[in-house]
Structure 1
């Protein structure tokens, strides 16, 4: 998964404003205490980050 796809999924699931807020501010224990944006900067694959976000926010399987 590319970062652009990750961003589109975040926007599609949460909306443009909330998607950005989640990416910037929401700390995920599944990512070692990083936010999604921090995890991207650290080189964590976008798909792994997306799945961690999905788990944290109970995104239904069909939208993962």
Structure 2
């Protein structure tokens, strides 16, 4: 998954205003206690991070 697709899905799920804030502030257990932004900065793939988001959020099957 490309990073652009990741952010498209984040924006579709959370809304454009909230997606970045959530990614910066919400700590996700499946990402070893990191935020989305930290995990991406650490080199985790966008696909891995997206799967972690789907584990902790009720993401529409259409976006999974």
> TM-score, length-normalised on structure 2?
0.91
Q: Deviation above 6 Å: which 4+ runs of structure 1?
A: none
**Structure 1 residue aligned with 2:48:** 48
Higher normalized helix content (fraction of residues)? 1
| 1:21, distance to aligned residue in structure 2 (A) | 1.2
| 1:60, distance to aligned residue in structure 2 (A) | 3.2
> TM-score, length-normalised on structure 1?
0.91
Structure 2 gaps of 5+ residues are none
**Pairs within 5 Å for 1:1-64:** 1-64=1-64
| 1:25, distance to aligned residue in structure 2 (A) | 0.6
- Secondary structure of 1:23's match? helix
Bigger relative CO (Cα 8 Å, ≥ 6 apart):
2
Coordinate RMSD, CA, aligned: 1.0
Number of residue pairs the alignment of both structures matches:
64
Distance in 1 (alpha carbons) for counterparts of 2:55 and 2:22: 13
